[in-house]
Chain A
Amino acid sequence: MSDLNVDDLPKDWLELSRYLHNNAHDFSAWEQLVSAALKLRHDAVSSRLVAISYENLLVNFPYCEQYWCNYAEYLFHTGRTDEAREIYERGVEVVPKSMVIWTKYLDFVVETVHQYDPAVAVFERARKEVGLHFYAHLLYDRYLQFLKAHRRVKEYHYLVRRVIEVPLYHYSKYIKQFFKLIENADLDTIKYLVTKEDLKTVYKLSWPDLIGRKDDRVFTDLKKDMRKRYMDIYITTQYHVFQLWPFEEAVTRPYFAPDELERRELHNWNRYLEYCETLSLKSSHKDSDSAITKNTRKLIDTVYGRCLIATAYYPFFWIKYSNYYLNLNQLDRAKKILVTGIYHCATENVKLRLRLADLEVLTRNLSAAKAVVVDLLQIYPNSVQAWLKLLQLEHLGKNKDLLQLVEAKLDEVAGTEHEPGFDYLFLELLSYNLELEPFLLKYQHKSSYLFWKACIDYYYLHSPDATKLQHTYRLALEKLGDADRARLEGYLDGVVEKEYF
């Protein structure tokens, strides 16, 4: 903003942006900021402000599909077509499974790109990303229309043939189209519907047999039989559509919004994902290079991508997605998903980060793992969980001064509200191969159950010593409160000497 003069900026926009500086999670304020910028009289300053508003909104809420489109459209309408394309490109990179952005992008491409090759390349990319989306008719209608306009008969045939295999909301529309293609097939187009090999093995025919017999029975019989055979694809696709429909029907908010989703909705996504994942359990999916495996995995990715647009604030689904790739033994993919998840779940991401650290360890990336935990500790400096992980990592890194590290932390939290929680570290240290006695002796002034339990366990279970146990027990009873004393007495009942009455 350095070249913008603060005095030139409209007051309400400036106020909002100041407010947002400290309240970046207030979605409606962001929306107000954008609309405040759009309301300004068009000039160089205002177009900068619009860009700043959109860019910052999208940094904070990258899954807001519509705002990517709005931003691109704004640029397009102000004559900045290249920039608009760039925004669409960024949009589909950030939210690759967004049908909203893709369709808008394709409309934009049709309007601005007049050569066939570059335009069809975008259609193909869209097909690969969202072609298995349950509502992909939005894509296919545009694609087919485009091919028709460019008189690409072959590709048109190929595309319809592929679409009929996909379980779509509008599946029957494409089947009908395909039957029509068979119906209207002539000597040229029949080649796009059946291969030479199939013609030979299934019908005992070859291309020359068909030449000049367009209106004759051979040709009609062929078409009739093909229609019969393709009826089965209709049944199969329909079956799968019916399977997906209960899940699809239950999705009431397929888009991103900053408020919470109903439990029922979350549950539905979870069941939907498990349904798709279970499809890939078939023994025919053992070969990960086969088309059947690849297509199913693509469907799973598509459903995850769609689910996460709506559930981006729920670490549950990020972990689930990451676990899906862990199960496929693709640790790098799993890590990438966690990183994205951490970005989206700005506050509730402890488990995501701890898991990421674990995966970094498993891929022998100790320094990366440490970086993850140190990051976490910067957000939650007093998270005991994060500290336990840090201890693990330091120990893995053969840090000799583990106890000094703990000591420093304990000193830091001494006397604060976090002290009781961090006393858990004493118990945790028992699990490490460390010489703890002098360390424990330093803290005998403590009065928390966790600390004394650690001391007792040390002499009781880890490094048994009856005299010291008895001594520690006496000390602990002096230091502990009534309830904790009763707990400890119960714990060591019959082990140490004590007065009963």
Chain B
Amino acid sequence: MSQALDITAATVDPALLDLPWQLPLENWPAENIAALPKGLSRHTVRFAHLGKYVIAIKETLPDLAKREYELLKNLQKLDVPCVEPFAIIKNRSDDQGEELPAVLITRHLKFSLPYRAMWSQGLRADTATRLVDALALLLVRLHIAGFFWGDVSLSNTLFRRDAGSFAAYLVDAETGQLYESGLSNGQRENDLEIARVNIAGELMDLVASGRAGPGVDPNATSERIVNKYTELWKELTAAEVFNKDERWRITQRVERLNKLGFDIEELMIKTEANGRSVKIQPKVVDAGHHTRRLIRLTGLDVQENQARRLLNDLDAFRVKYGTVDDEEVLAHRWLSEVFEPVVKSIPREYSGRLEPAEIFHQVLEHRWFLAENQQKGIPLIDAVNSYVENVLAHRRDEEALLATPTEAITLPTAIPSGTIEADEDEEGDWRDKV
């Protein structure tokens, strides 16, 4: 192995040195990689085990690795959901002294899924819609932070379950750029157009592969990101002018943003020259309204919609038992009497199936479903037992469910040997499919 392996990492994990850096990623032995089909990406990407973690390793040019590493670090500082940069390794060479590409290492997000792996039986139409909604929210957050993505797609995103919805994380920042002075409308529109075309292409490909459920409409779904994004962007950034005696509209705006999961950090309020009207405009907004409230009350750090769901249950608990105790004290009671018992009653062998907060959400859903069926109230413990037996036991583990994020061939690329397949024309006239 090269003596001069050059590693840049935020936290040093000595196990990193034990990986076979002197081999091209393509040739890593099975014991090092988390077994996976290889995608046809511009760069070779593979997953490896590193202690308790799974890491994603991408071979690329040294400058690009450094650029993407820095960019991901900056995005993390800006609190934008993205994969965690772990290290870059340069100066690799094989045993013959031949130079090998640099690598960018990111940490695999536990319980995250690529869109193609979202449903093992095929992607359902309503799932596709919720994925696109999550991506729209991610894009708005990136744009607010001044990040132009340049390659918005489902393939470049990972998703975590979030109480019936999804939370989206940026995976590939290779084409992106951060603009301190913010983005122009043209840049935002361009990202949105790229998103629209890519999503349509990805879903059409999924339909062509037979892995999309009935009713998946690539056209309508891709169109949805534009509407969803525009709606959100307007709510988060637009100025509003109203009569001075309609000041309740300030509170209303704040509440609307809270409902969408945002807190206003800075609101511009101006009285217009005529003295009769007021103009307001959010200047700094922060995602995670419910997440932050839940952390403050319980210390639980979960996704936004999971937090919303848990807070609802907590509020119901408070109505039932609270009058004397204050909010924090009741939150602790709820944690130890409701949330933790549910999580602890999940058999250890199923702990990798879903995140605890997601399990809690599903148990609540399950209890509602049982109550509807049986037309009576169901004790929580019964709901948990039924859920474990009838639902959780039949699910797959998602803690480290790895799959190639894309099967698309990204260009320009070198063609690895053996990837050109025999020329066989498809059946029928090509015009029928255009």
Please determine whether chains A and B interact with each other in the same assembly. no
B: which residues have CB within 8 A of A?
A: none
